[in-house]
A and B are shown apart, each in its own frame.
Chain A
Amino acid sequence: MYTFSNKLKTFSFILMILGALGVGYGFMTSHKSFEEVEHLLAEESHHGGGHGEAVAHHAAPSHEAHGEAAHGETVHAEDAHAKHVTHVQHQIANRPWSALYVAAFFFFMIALGVLAFYAIQIASQAGWSPVLFRVMEAITAYMLPGAIIVLIIAVASGTIGHYNIFIWMDPDVVAHDALIQGKAGWLNIGGFAIRGLIFIAGWAIYRHFARKFSIAQDNAEPGDISYFKKSFRIAAGFLVFFIYTESMMSWDWIMSVDPHWFSTLFGWYVFASMFVSGITVIALMSIFLKSKGYLAFVNENHLHDIAKFMFGISIFWTYLWFSQFMLIWYSNIPEEVTYFITRINDYKLPFFGMVVLNFVFPLLMLMNANYKRMNWFVVMTGVVILVGHYIDIFNMIMPATVGDRWFIGIPEIGSVLLFGGLFIFVVFMSLSKASLLAKGYPLMKESEDFHY
């Protein structure tokens, strides 16, 4: 049995409090009045910032379009200026919402990725991983609260907030946007909420029963493997449900921040990101618990296998990232390519930096078989992978909501601390509720003796 140490509990509470303060600060400083933003922009253009030029750019098309009405020119320039200021004002207001959403999604996706990994291990009857089942089950405990938080933030941004994440929730925008009107059958807030609840319910039901059967198998009579068979069947069913709902979830919760853009392999891409982050967290948790002496039955062979997964899925993520990018870059169709143009223009470092963090670094660090068996190597690479995938989610959400007004500052770090603390609390709480070895699992002996 694992006991949740008071030290760790306090640590998670400190993280949550610090995070909440950071989030509060973010919300308090993001409500700027029109004049304040105007002043800010004027100051920036004085300093030679790019924004002065942006104003000129914005003004230029309206100039030409209405060039005939000479008397209207100044009026239109002022119009464009007002439009630009409101635009920036909105971006500033979006920042704490998006920061919260990115962090909430990041921790939720770790738990969901682990749930998928867990189901795959059971459905494939893997012989190496059962010693890690209780660690995986504990991580998936965060899936339900995490998913609900994500859905609440998403819906709240369109009801309490001022459409701070999803512009298709804004009836004003929809009224003037034929493209979004055409998608309104899918992109409407009621449908969004109901679909979200269906996804979450399906995942949570699987998680509930998988955990229940796993513990029931512990207490079953020797030789009775009926719960193992049940967990096998629901795992197979869940994987079918998961791959459909994960794909739809990625359209709803992520792709729809850019409602004019679409990509067919996006669901897979988000899946790869959540899968590799989840596997990394399993590795980090196992190493942590083993260092505390709780997982005597886990050895460096298990670590080696999980590090191989981190390595392989990192490359799989890169394959999908590159396939999505290269297909769009190559054909250069304006309606698709704007997605990457805004990212490359305004997010050059995060956009290409994450390829280094998520691909080059794990590729070189985890290629050697001996390195995969060394704790500090796996921890170091794991931390880099997690940072890289946070930035991946950041790159998916932020360009659509805050545009070039991004920064990784107090609102972003505060949100990560808030949900990081909650994640640690929920996961370790769940970990302390059952034995760390799923004793009754039929493949357990094989897993304990596993050696590579």
Chain B
Amino acid sequence: MEASKVIHAIYTDDDVLMSAVKKVKAERYHIEEIYTPFPVHGLDRAMGLAPTRIAITAFIYGLIGLAVATVMMNYIMIEDWPQDIGGKPSFSYLENLPAFVPIMFELTVFFSAHLMVLTFYLRSKIWPFKEAENPDPRTTDDHFLMEIAVDGNQEALETLLAGTGAVEVNLVDKAH
């Protein structure tokens, strides 16, 4: 891929960042990425990011966990070897259901939680030995960085960003 140019605007305050995002969006520029040291409340909405669907996946994973627990215990306790253990009614799953509920609950939570976390890692592309994608190490401490693609509008964009309270505006060559 050819090298393209981006502008990095650096801010030192999240309130300034928020108003800058609103101004840049109002001027219809496309914000490629924003790097912040901590979650900035409302930033996703200001950027116009689509809401996450991770809760929906968690619900589905929970249902899978519930099904696994039910099928497993029905097979083991009722179908494969229905023993009389302390007088518990192993005639059908429903008759002995209360004894299975703790496990059904825990496996639902287990599947829901763990698979959701794995989904998060996969979708966010996070894993051990993953190379950090940080354009400026200061953004992990106390600086906020907004990255905007440049296509022939460099000067207008730089003036706009300087007017939003950016402490630094840098033109960066970025190899995609």
- Residues of chain A whose beta carbon lies under 8 Å from any beta carbon of chain B: 322, 325-326, 329-330, 332, 367, 369
Contacts and interface: CB of A to CB of B under 8 A. Distances in A.
A326 B98 contact: yes
Nearest to A364: B59
Contact of A332 (B55, B87, B101): B87
Interface of B: 55, 59, 87, 98-99, 101
A35 B31 CA distance: 88
12 contacts: A322-B98, A322-B101, A325-B98, A326-B98, A326-B99, A326-B101, A329-B98, A330-B98, A330-B99, A332-B87, A367-B59, A369-B55
A42 B106 CA distance: 52
Contacts of A369: 55
Contacts of A326: 98-99, 101
Nearest to A451: B42
Contacts of B99: 326, 330
A367 B98 CA distance: 24
Nearest to A328: B98
A367 B55 CA distance: 10
Question: Interface SS of chain A: helix, strand, loop or mixed?
Answer: helix
A81 B99 CA distance: 40
A22 B138 CA distance: 75
Nearest to A370: B51
Contacts of B55: 369
A450 to B, nearest CB: 14
Contacts of B59: 367
Nearest to B98: A326
A322 B99 CA distance: 11
A23 to B, nearest CB: 38
Nearest to A319: B105
Contacts of B87: 332
Contacts of B101: 322, 326
A329 B89 CA distance: 11
Given A325-B98, A326-B99, 10 more contacts: A322-B98, A322-B101, A326-B98, A326-B101, A329-B98, A330-B98, A330-B99, A332-B87, A367-B59, A369-B55
A367 to B, nearest CB: 7
Nearest to A326: B98
Contacts of A332: 87
Nearest to B99: A330
A329 B99 CA distance: 9
A345 B99 CA distance: 20
B55 to A, nearest CB: 8
B107 to A, nearest CB: 16
A211 B15 CA distance: 40
Contacts of A322: 98, 101
A353 B74 CA distance: 24
B168 to A, nearest CB: 33
With most chain A CB atoms within 10 A of its CB, the pick from B59, B98, B99, B101 is B98
A332 B95 CA distance: 14
A326 B55 CA distance: 30
A310 B87 CA distance: 38
A365 to B, nearest CB: 13
A252 to B, nearest CB: 29
B43 to A, nearest CB: 15
A272 B44 CA distance: 37
Nearest to A322: B101
B36 to A, nearest CB: 21
Nearest to B56: A368
A326 B59 CA distance: 26
Nearest to B42: A451
A358 to B, nearest CB: 16
A146 B99 CA distance: 39
| 9 pairs of A and B residues whose beta carbons are closest in the complex | A326-B98, A329-B98, A330-B99, A322-B101, A330-B98, A326-B101, A325-B98, A367-B59, A332-B87
Nearest to A367: B59
Contacts of A325: 98
A330 B102 CA distance: 12
A325 to B, nearest CB: 7
A369 B87 CA distance: 44
Contacts of B98: 322, 325-326, 329-330
A356 to B, nearest CB: 14
B127 to A, nearest CB: 29
A97 B174 CA distance: 81
B146 to A, nearest CB: 25
B106 to A, nearest CB: 13
A332 B98 CA distance: 12
A315 to B, nearest CB: 11
A159 B131 CA distance: 81
B49 to A, nearest CB: 16
A131 B26 CA distance: 35
